[in-house]
Amino acid sequence: MAYDKFTVLKSTAVPLSIENVDTDQIIPARFLKATERKGFGDNLFRDWRYNNDNSPKKDFVLNNPVYHGKILVGGRNFGSGSSREHAAWAVYDYGFRCVVSSFFADIFKNNCINVGILPVQVSEEFLVKIFKAIEADPNTELEVNLPEQMITILATGDKESFAINGYKKNNLTNGYDDIDYLQAMGEEIQSFAKKSLY
């Protein structure tokens, strides 16, 4: 078992209404030198979050105490670019368990699920509603219900369903991962390999 189970998450959210947030912004390459998965949250959005002298940039949302919570809400095309799983580790390590956007880059989305973060893809309209609700009241809570595949803005009652395949859903709700699954397939893989050309 690789991570905590995910079922229903009720939390305030941090709004990052920027599009095309790439993984080089989520965690810049110079912080990828560790050989252990530890402490990446400190450098999450490093260059947006801190000045060169390491003082926090006041206008960046993570530095605004008004916003907090376990849900990160990002603009369209979130997580593009590098395959670095360190980006998902940084998001997780910082304390987020769910990322909401209207569109995710493929590798980042996979990486999230593999480390126990739920990526929730909503419509463009619903994303705007979320941003508006948080803007109106930073203490607005969102409810992400994985078993029912539903995300709700609790203050307004607006809700939308989201997609996830049954296999991944099962993994997340039970805290299993792909390696657990593949380990049970050992013989099947061995016999497949025998037929392989390479």
Partner 1 sequence: MPSTLFDKVWDSHVVRKIEDGPDVLFIDRHFIHEVTSPVAFRGLESRGLKVMFPEKTFATADHNTPTINQHLPVKDALSANQLKALEVNSAKYGISHWGLGNPKNGIVHIIGPENGITLPGMTIVCGDSHTSTHGAFGCIAFGIGTSEVEMVLSSQCIMQPKPKKMRINVNGKLGKAITPKDVVLYIIAKLTAAGATGYFVEYAGEVFEKMSMEGRMTVCNMSIEMGARGGMIAPDETTFTYIKGKEKAPKGEAWDKALAYWKTLKTDADATFDIEHHYDAADIEPMITYGTNPGMGLGITKHIPTAEQAGGGKSSYEKSLNYMGFHEDDSMLGKKVDYVFLGSCTNGRIEDFRAFASIVKGRKKAENITAWIVPGSHVVEQQIKDEGILDILTEAGFELRQPGCSACLAMNDDKIPAGKYAVSTSNRNFEGRQGPGARTMLASPFMAAAAAVTGVVTDPRELL
Q: How far apart are CA 21 and CA 27, in angstroms?
A: 11
Which of 4, 19 has the CB closer to partner 1? 19
From residue 138 to residue 167, what is the string marking binding to partner 1 with x (rule CB under 8 A)?
---------------------------xxx
3-state secondary structure 83-137: CCCHHHHHHHHHCCCEEEECCECHHHHHHHHHHCCEEEECCHHHHHHHHHHHHHC
From residue 83 to residue 122, what is the string marking binding to partner 1 with x (rule CB under 8 A)?
xxxx-x--------------xxxxx--xx--xx-------
Site size toward partner 1 (CB under 8 A) is 58
Nearest distance from residue 190's CB to partner 1, in Å?
8
Q: Which of 4, 19, 42, 125 binds partner 1 (CB under 8 A)?
A: 19
DSSP state of 33: -
Which of 67, 92 has the CB closer to partner 1? 92
Q: Which of 6, 14, 25, 96 binds partner 1 (CB under 8 A)?
A: 25
Is 75 a binder of partner 1 (CB under 8 A)?
A: yes
CA distances from 31 to 24, 36, 45, 94 (A): 10, 12, 11, 15
Instruction: Look up residue 147 and give its amino acid.
Output: P
Neighbours of 120 (CB within 10 A): 25
| SS3 label, residue 3 | coil
Q: Which of 13, 71, 73, 80 binds partner 1 (CB under 8 A)?
A: 80
∠ Cα 75 79 81 (to 5°): 130
- Subset of residues 43 to 62 that bind partner 1, contact rule: CB under 8 A: 47, 52
Nearest CA among 168, 45, 190 for reference residue 114 = 168
Candidate ranges 15-23, 64-72, 130-138, 140-148; the one touching partner 1 (CB under 8 A):
15-23
> Residue for token digits 């390696």?
179
Interface residue list for partner 1 (CB under 8 A): 2, 17-20, 22, 24-25, 28-30, 32-37, 47, 52, 75-77, 80-86, 88, 103-107, 110-111, 114-115, 165-168, 177-179, 181-183, 185-186, 188-189, 192-193, 196-198
